Amino acid sequence: MAEEKAQEKTEQPTPKKRADAREKGQVPRSRELTTMAVLMASAGAILMMGESMVEGILDIMRGTLVIERSTIMDVNAMVPGFLNAVKDALVSFAPFIIMLVIIALLSPMALSGWSFSIKAMAFKWSKMDPVKGMGRIFSAKGLMELAKALVKFALVLMVALIFLWNNLDELLALGTKSVMPALADMGQLLGWAFLLLSSTMILIAAVDVPFQLWDFTRQLKMTRQEVKDEFKETDGSPELKRRVREVQREISQRRMMEDVPGADVVITNPTHYAVALRYDQDHMTAPKVVAKGKDMIAMQIRALALENNVPIVSAPPLSRALFHTTEIQDEIPAGLFLAVAQVLAYAYQLHGKAYQYGDEVPTMDDLTIPEDMQYDS
């Protein structure tokens, strides 16, 4: 039961899942939104530019249908005449065509932005499978497409009937007018009819856009196991992360040990803690902790200090305070300035005497440590 539940796609798609889908060309698209934008832009353009386009057509017809006898008998004159007619047609319709191309390219981007994928253009044999094709027809998306087609038909039919009923007198009156005024009035009626019929697509797009977003998210939903696998893939498995932390710790300790020979003093507990300090009056505002450790690491720090003739001072309260209140390369807290200054002064005296260290380590028990920096262990 638990395994079946884990295989159910109940989890929302992760950002990586969405990014992978986008890379494959899978983005939410609404054909109804694009159709609405193109139809309404076409209707508006016809109302605004229709007169100029009609005049351009009339000019082309005058230039091509009225031909002189000498031109008809000249075979070489036909091709230039045809090319001139094509050029005039392009000039007349170019603004309209350019506007439609721009709208057709920009309207799909309104839903999910720009997306271009070579993978989406690749041929897939699975698309040729008739069984899967039937499955797509009777899927939720297929049923939605059927419902949209029926609703579009019903809306367009209803709006067309209402428009005809309200403008019936004007349509009948066209027969009583001369040719040019009748054509102008008919063009206006057709333009407004086209715009009104195109506006019915607003209702279809208002339903289709939310559905496409919901259906796209539904298709990308993941099982709990897929989410876990993706997390392991992106952030790494716990074992790998643990190993990385161990390696980082080893590198940090190795660097820390390399700084011990250059320390000015090592303050110990004397056996449990060891903190190595360095102070350069010309470049530092306060002494810095270059190494610190507990138990085995503390033993290694003391051993390195002995090998490199670095003074070792036993000051248990101070060593515990430094260990708990600082990190590597941190300056010591202001509350420990006095105690550390006393230890450094003592260490400098030992250096001046060329003191050779053996098993005996000098002890300083009379240092003043603030109460909030005193630790028992």
- 195 and 44 Cβ atoms separated by less than 8 Å: yes
More confident residue, 266 or 6: 266
Among the ranges given (99-103, 147-151, 256-260), the one the predictor scored with the smallest mean pLDDT? 147-151
Q: Quick one: DSSP state of residue 11?
A: B
pLDDT score of 88 more than 50: yes
**Percentage of the chain exceeding pLDDT 90:** 2
Q: What is the pLDDT of residues 281-299, one digit of tens each?
A: 888 888 999 999 888 888 9
How far is it, in rounded angstroms, from Cα 211 to Cα 206? 9
Half-sphere exposure for 108 (CA within 13 Å, toward CB): 11
- 340 and 277 Cβ atoms separated by less than 8 Å: yes
pLDDT score of 69 more than 50: yes
SS3 (DSSP) at 356? coil
More confident residue, 250 or 129: 250
pLDDT of residue 277: 92
- pTM recorded for the entire structure: 0.47
pLDDT of residue 276: 92
CATH architecture label of 259-367? 3-Layer(aba) Sandwich (3.40)
DSSP for 172-223 reads HHGGGS-HHHHHHHHHHHHHHHHHHHHHHHHHHHHHHHHHHHHHHHHHH-B-
**Percentage of the chain exceeding pLDDT 70:** 80
In the chain, CATH 3.40.1690.10 sits at 259-367
Among the ranges given (91-100, 283-292, 314-323), the one the predictor scored with the smallest mean pLDDT? 91-100
